[in-house]
Structure 1
Amino acid sequence: MPFNGLPHGSVPRLERPGPLREQVYQALLDLVGSRSLRPGQHLVESELAARLGVSRQPVHEALQRLSSEGWVDLRPAQGAFVHEPTGEETDQLFVVRTLLETEGARLAAAGPSAEGIERLGELCATGEAAVAADDVDGAVAANATFHACVMELAGNAVLADLAARVENRVRRYYTPIVHQAWAEHRELIAAIAARDDARAQRVMRAHTKDARTRFPPRPAA
């Protein structure tokens, strides 16, 4: 029998032993991320527990955690629902994304390694090749890895973690259009290689400020 529109077998039964609470949390998070559980969808603890092959308690705990992180809405007398972002929330996410990535670009240009610059170039070439081959998934993956690499070169683990969290939330609801991005990526690489932190900031700010128009809402699964 399908569960809330999910085909049978799409929710894996969890293997033990292991940290069951964490396994349940990660399984539900992955289902939200893949849109197997869609924005606005009602989440019934007993049904989720049956599909995952666990008791209701770890499911309840996972939903509480997902709620605290903004992935699930808990509504009194109604239950749990997959969070559906408002337009205002989305705008705020993109503003924060621009702030974090602009600062990351500045720090990356302050003292980049030759290996890091080479890695950025390789990722850019990978993305360009994916676009040329009309490989949307490959281009999106290369784009995400490119931005993560810039944050890694920034050398600030806290900044990189915050940026990854924001990016992760954005990508759960929106799919980037990246065919326009690679010339800007090349310009950013040049600024970082030249250790021109002011230019790197300008390029990244320009690159991300209109990102809202490059991330259309993801279609329902």
Structure 2
Amino acid sequence: MVSAGLPQGAVPKLERPGPLRERVYETLLELMTTRALRPGQHLVESELAGHLGVSRQPVREALQRLNTEGWVDLRPAQGAFVHEPTKEEADQLLSVRTLLEAEAARLAAADCDEAGVAALEKICAKGEQAVADDDVDLAVATDAAFHAKVMELAGNAVLAGLAGQVDRRVRWYRTPVARQRGIRSWIEHRSLIAAIAARDGQRATEIVRSHMENTHETYHRHDES
């Protein structure tokens, strides 16, 4: 049993071509986003390097970058640990995300065509099936894809860029409550699709705000339990 806590064979060895430092960073970030590496977990350079099939140097560089970005805490004489989010951090992030999502929904409702609505419905059906199959990882990934599609349909590159900067952190907070939110989240998504199809920007904005608040409240209930 290793302190990095990754099951044998769960992480594929990284292929050598390409910028190795960046690939190590992306792999560790994805493992933290999905909570395969859990908040508060000790990250041992040598063990992570062994799992990834690389030397310790790119792992050390990746951990330093992740520390700068707030994903990892480097503690003197103790080492690296996955950051444990505070209530205040969750509140701030989800509040910003709500503003971005609400504006995206309003813009999407103003200019979405039938193809866009059909794309949202297809993603929604995939998410509903993931919930039915109790596939939490797929449900979270599909939820992210749904919101990304709404951003795309909004047609505002700056807005999409800002949303992309916080997307992984939103997934980080979303993962532990995905099962509790369950099908209710996708019912809310269906309501949003209907509002966008009806070109009702005000209604779409209201639905997004309610949707994000429900996720926010569920996260806090989970965090306090």
TM-score (norm 1): 0.84
Pick the aligned partner of 1:208 from 191, 212, 219: 212
Structural mapping, 1:15-164, within 5 Å: 15-131=15-131, 133-137=132-136, 139-164=139-164
* 8 A contact 2:3–2:43 mirrored in 1: no
In the alignment, residue 185 of structure 2 is paired with which amino acid?
A: A
Sort the Cα spacing of 1:13 and 1:136 in 2 relative to 1 into closer, same or farther, 3 A. Answer: closer
Deviates more, 1:174-183 or 1:138-147: 138-147
* 8 A contact 1:108–1:151 mirrored in 2: yes
Distance 1:136 1:13 in 2: 25
Sort the Cα spacing of 1:114 and 1:24 in 2 relative to 1 into closer, same or farther, 3 A. Answer: same
In the alignment, residue 175 of structure 1 is paired with which amino acid?
A: V
CA-CA distance at 1:122 after TM superposition: 2.6
CA-CA distance at 1:93 after TM superposition: 1.7
Please, what is the CA RMSD of the aligned residues? 2.5
Secondary structure of 1:39's match?
coil
Total equivalences in the alignment: 217
Sort the Cα spacing of 1:124 and 1:11 in 2 relative to 1 into closer, same or farther, 3 A. Answer: closer
Distance 2:21 2:130 in 1: 38
CA-CA distance at 1:112 after TM superposition: 1.1
Distance 2:203 2:154 in 1: 15
Secondary structure of 1:180's match?
helix
Secondary structure of 1:195's match?
coil
Secondary structure of 1:179's match?
helix
TM-score (norm 2): 0.82
Structure ranking higher in helix proportion: 2
Larger Rg: 1
Pick the aligned partner of 2:183 from 179, 186, 189: 179
Distance 1:29 1:125 in 2: 28
In the alignment, residue 92 of structure 1 is paired with which amino acid?
A: Q
Secondary structure of 2:184's match?
coil
Which runs of 5 or more residues in structure 1 are unaligned?
A: none
Distance 1:29 1:128 in 2: 26
Secondary structure of 2:2's match?
coil
